[in-house]
Structure 1
Amino acid sequence: MLAGLSACAVQAPPPTPPRAQPAPAPTPVVAQVRPTSQESAALRSYLMQVQNAQLSQGLLRIDGGGPDTPYSADMLARNFEQVVFYNEYAQALQGRGGTSPLRRWKDPIRVGMIFGAAVTPSQQAQDTANVRSYARRLGDITGHPISSSGTPNFTVIFADEDDRNAALDQAADRMAGISRGSLDALRDLPRETYCAVAAYAAGSDPNTYTAAVAVIRAENPGLLRLSCIHEEMAQGLGLANDSRDARPSIFNDDDEFALLTNHDEHLLQMLYDPRLSPGMSAAQAAPITRIIARELMGGAL
């Protein structure tokens, strides 16, 4: 503007009448987000360090595996047995569980979400998009109806340390067949547990799931958060255990893979194959799962 001024004198223009001042722009409405507590802030820092350390070690892969992670039909059938017919925990997220019959859903799954007060609107939008997209993918893989509409029977909670109990109470009040007390195992998560899921069979068949609740720490950073969505929602369908031998897979405690792999898609296809049924034991299912695994891998039967 200074460069455009002239040094010569000019006649001043006649005064103009004053104009009405424009009305001030409305103040944007900002959603109220609860400040983070010191405990939650410390956990957020810890989980960021965990993610960075894992990435620096080549973990949390998102490539789904490759030439370095081959597996055969026999390996797939073996991994299916370990992941489906054993429980990851005995009770209250403590200890290793024992053998279990095959469990899965019969009725359509309706996924809903609950967010703690510390989750920002932008993060809620991202989490919602991720959950809904993944729910559609799981439905395509399994052939089982999975949607994000209607009254939820599978609730995914994103809450920090301060909001988790209230969010769990809210989930119990919304969902049939679940009481507040039945969610106690998800209330006091160990620091090393980034997320968890519990599935319930409240109907006449104890091996047919009717409800599930997944809890994902809101303190999780981006990739850990997405990996929790992938693992807990898939486990809530009936892949209840982790196996050290499963590879490439998110159902392995080594955290090598962050997102559902092609191997894991095969496990889900096997789980919801109509030739298998809830209540089957590992011994009863074994001859069938070997056939299904070879079909999926394109091998001789």
Structure 2
Amino acid sequence: MAKSTSRTAILGLVACACMALPGAADVQKSSQGTATVSKSSLAAYYATLEAQFLAQGKMKTARHVPNAPMDPVSLQRDFVHIALHKEYGSGLSASGSKTAKPLLRWETPVRVQVQFGPNVPKSNRAKDVRTISTYVNTLARATRHPITLNPHKPNFHVLVVTEAERKSLAKTLPKLIPGIAASTVNSIARMRPNHLCMVVAEPHGNRRKGFRRAVAIVRAEHPDRMRVSCIQEELAQGLGLSNDHKEVWPSIFNDDQEFALLTKRDEKLLGMLYDPRLRSGMKIDEVAPYLHAVASAQF
């Protein structure tokens, strides 16, 4: 979570981060000392990274794993890990925080808009729109919450951009999304090459109203499976399952990159998050009395 002095005091910050770095010859240092990758090598870096993941048996597309635990008790445990704890503290480097946080979700309809940087190929745009449209329907079914692909007054912005276009967002985002928090813009501007993708969700000042806006960044340089994986994880996390935890399995809410797509377990966790017995702003001790019934309702 990132703190801000703006009217949106706390941001829900999630970044799908891979700590593997490109070869030393491809890494440059900016004047601030931040690792960067040249434009010509970025797509190759992500292609190599995806190939490494696949060779290690990661980025699986199976949505159901036979004999994997699937019961109310384990779902309760996982829900506490990923819905009621922070992944990020005071910046992108503060991963793995165990600090408890209130439950946050959308209490109003989610209207998703997809926008592309001018240098994203048209063939990729059509493919990504189909992917996101289908996935939005999956999320709506899992949550039983109104989530649609809708350009009319959107509140969940999905930006597919090249690295150069991402850097320019620091100047263009306030015009593109009026009222966007400065902390959101700064978080996006600080993305490094080893942050594969990101979603920043802004809650209302009154936490019981849930989220008011979210912005997801998907890198156009990603190869197909990595790009789809980023879309699925960041949109799901932008709905409120904001943490990653090593014990949540089989799941995309786990930094080990084993699964590329939303699993059946993940769908049940989303269903729990949007159970009508819960609401935004509830703390762990307020959620606890409902957890068993909420988890059991998924079976």
- State TM-score, norm by structure 2: 0.82
Aligned residues: 260
Aligned position for 1:138:
139
Distance 2:100 2:225 in 1: 32
Residue 65 of structure 1 is matched in structure 2 by 64
Q: Which residue of 2 aligns with 1:159?
A: 161
Deviation, 1:188, is 2.3
* Bigger CA radius of gyration: 1
Q: What one-letter code is carried by the residue in structure 2 that aligns with 1:133?
A: T
Distance 1:195 1:76 in 2: 26
User: Is the CA contact 2:184–2:200 (under 8 Å) kept in the aligned structure 1?
Assistant: no
- Counterpart of 1:119 in structure 2 is 120
1:66-95 Cα shifts (integer Å, max 9, x gaps): 225233321111000000011111133221
Q: Is the Cα–Cα contact under 8 Å of residues 142 and 267 in structure 2 kept in the other structure?
A: yes
1:184-233 C-alpha deviation (Å, 9 max, x unpaired):
11112122211010000245436610000001111111000000000000
Give the match's secondary structure for 1:162: helix
Asked whether the 8 Å contact 1:177–1:211 carries over to 2, the reply is no
Matching residue within 289, 292, 300 for 2:291: 289
Q: Distance in 2 between matches of 1:156 and 1:168?
A: 16
Q: Could you say which residue in structure 2 is the equivalent of 1:274?
A: 276
- The CA deviation at 1:238 is 0.3
Unaligned runs of 5+ residues in structure 1 are: 1-37
Unaligned runs of 5+ in 2: 1-36
Identity of paired residues, percent?
A: 36
- Larger strand proportion of the pair: 2
What is the DSSP-based 3-state SS (H/G/I as helix, E as strand, rest coil) of the residue aligned with 2:108? Answer: coil
Indicate the larger mover: 52-61 or 246-255. 52-61
Please, which of 166, 170, 187 is the counterpart of residue 189 of structure 2? 187
Question: Residue 33 of structure 2 corresponds to which residue in structure 1?
Answer: none
Q: Does the CA-based 8 Å contact 2:85-2:101 persist in structure 1?
A: yes
The 3-state SS of whatever aligns with 1:194 is strand
Task: Find the counterpart in structure 2 of residue 255 from structure 1.
Answer: 257
Instruction: Using the TM superposition, give the Cα deviation of residue 169 of structure 1 relative to its aligned residue in structure 2, in angstroms.
Output: 4.5
Q: How far is 1:280 from its partner?
A: 1.0
| Amino acid of the structure 2 residue aligned with 1:141 | A
Which whole-Å CA distance do the structure 2 matches of 1:243 and 1:285 have between them?
A: 19
> Is the CA contact 1:238–1:271 (under 8 Å) kept in the aligned structure 2?
yes
Are 2:80 and 1:81 aligned? Answer: yes
Choose from 240, 252, 255 the match for 1:238.
Answer: 240
Q: Tell me by how many angstroms 1:163 deviates.
A: 0.5
Which segment drifts farther, 174-183 or 41-50? 174-183
For the residue of structure 2 that corresponds to 1:195, the secondary structure is: strand
* Cα distance in 2 for residues equivalent to 1:252 and 1:197: 16
Q: Compute the TM-score of the two structures, normalised by the length of structure 1.
A: 0.81
**Larger RCO: Structure 1 or Structure 2 (Cα < 8 Å, ≥ 6 residues apart)?**
2
Stretch deviating more after TM superposition (284-293 or 175-184):
175-184
| 8 A Cα contact 2:104 2:207, kept in partner | no
**1:10-89 paired onto structure 2 within 5 Å:** 39-89=38-88
